Structure 1
Amino acid sequence: MDETQSGEFAPTSVPRTEVLLQVDHLEVSFEQPAGRPAVRGVKDVSFSIAAGETLGLVGESGCGKTMSALAVMGLLPAGAAVTGGAIMWRGTAVDARQIRRLRGRSIAMIPQDAMTALNPLLSVQRQLTEVMKIHHGMGRAAARARAIELLELVRIDEPRRVAVQHPWQLSGGMAQRVVIAMALAAEPDLLVADEPTTALDVTVQSEILALLQMLQADLGLSLIMITHDLGVVAHLAHRTAVMYAGRIVETGPTKRLFHEPAHPYTRGLIASTPHPFRVEATKGIPGQAPLALLDDPACSFRSRCEKRTEVCETRPELKSYRHIDHEAACHHAG
């Protein structure tokens, strides 16, 4: 794949003058019944994102994308905990208590399913104003006025009418715009978008992605886009990290990663993605991805890889591939 459906890639990079979020060697583990050791769902994951930058986090379902984001947000489910690594905000390591203070105000999340994220019993206005009262201490009148402004910002027609409606009265696309407005309510620096177009039809997906791109440019936001859709990251992301079985197996500038994929898994994802400008037929990756919870001392991709050899019985580490900012975890990269 050498171009997106629009024929363009996102810019290769943005000036990395200020790194907002840096995640170093993150590990997330899950408790097990007494007598059994904890299992890891995220293993040695590292990435960073600069001001105004978009990072794409891609991979098959269950690879650890969302779990990594939930760890950063301090929203891990019961039984899961960060058991290794460090999370830094603007160069300073933060603990669970400090992450709670950052959440919403500095880092906000756009959930995967807007309809389940919104409370069906409360009006749109009530849910928006609650965010502003908590984070900005706004009074009722000021919060309501700001709620209307936010609905206008995310391009909702008749915002005053929508503000008094309940989520069950909204279409899927409208509900998605409302949760984006909620994420923007406290004026964060970083948005984490977890599959924000999954439950939407193709036309509405395009509108939501265009909206996110517009908001990022207008507000100077940084964006982590979690998705399994390579077309989305090709169009939006400056850099991309590919995850497999709980680990990052390749990372680098998006355009270079598409032109020069180093890891067999990345090449397989690209080859299996339909594209209107490619003559070759799509080709699926054989086999199934292992659960991220399985701790394999070897290369987790070896059973599906055409290049596997005996050396693949040892786990490869991320290392530079041709360029210092392009890394792959593969004994046979290239």
Structure 2
Amino acid sequence: MSGVPMSGAPAQPDPYAAPDPYAQPDPYGAPMSAPGGQPMSPGVASAPPYGQPMAGAPGQPGYPQDPYAQQQQWAGPVIPPTQGGGSKAWIWGALAGVVVVALMVGVVLYVTGGDDETPVADSSATPSEEVDPSTEPSEEAPDTELVTDPATGLSFAPMPEPWRDSTANYGVIGFYEVTGQVLDVLTFEDGSGWIATFVVGEINPSQLGSSSMTTDDAINALADLVDGAHYSKPPDFTEPLDGLERNEVEVNPLTVGSYSGSAMSYHLSWDDDSIEETGESIALGVLDMGDGRTAGFFLSLPDSVPDEHLDQMLEALDSLTFV
């Protein structure tokens, strides 16, 4: 398996992963701890990552609610029938290509800095007349404030409304903490619902099982965690949904700024009586920052999300950078 070797983690204990006596075991073999060692509960008053229903929604994938855990928001798949019929599987084809192509374009611009150097005048050219100051732009437009993970500096340009900032208690398995935006796709009367999501944060290597793996191995381990934790059969959520399949899988090299790693994109589908058949597009990225630290991103896009929001997410992907 190819990929960038992940730098070894420091020998001392992980300051973020204090043991928690209430943490639920992960049936897929990785601890289910949120930042600070708090148990990660799958349902909450908002939504689950990767297209999962929020607390109270019927057929919610994930683990049983932990009475000691703070409610966490999880992104989730969309249940309603799509108008016009059929799954928008073709959307994922476009998204899968952009995860790598758009990022590579963004990296080139970030590394070279674009054409921001002042051009050197050609001595053989005829001098131009002075420009009337009154015709010059009065002021440059202010830079857009980026959505930035404070731990790693991984950032992206914010998406417009109706996208909104993820709440402080929003968690994604495999990450210490995440920062990003979510889109309410479906909201139920009890306040729960399903959301699309795009977040960045620092990877928790203890949940992946090792810090001495390549980034290709890490991205596969992260994908397994995500699928196992958030697409499980109710009511006990210990078994995967019937017919759960990962399709259209692509793993490619990823570089953002001076950091290299791996990106994975795929589409999930299932056929389970406990939840209306639907699908979800997923993209994950891991970037080795050295000293045992790894930055990453996660996005989920339910099949029924309107095309305009797909375009907004692609633009956000294209803007990924470090600050």
Class of the TM-score when normalised by the shorter of the 2 chains? under 0.3
Q: TM-score, normalised by structure 2?
A: 0.26
Q: Pick the structure with greater CA Rg.
A: 2
Q: TM-score, normalised by structure 1?
A: 0.25
| Bigger RCO (CA 8 Å, 6+ sep) | 2
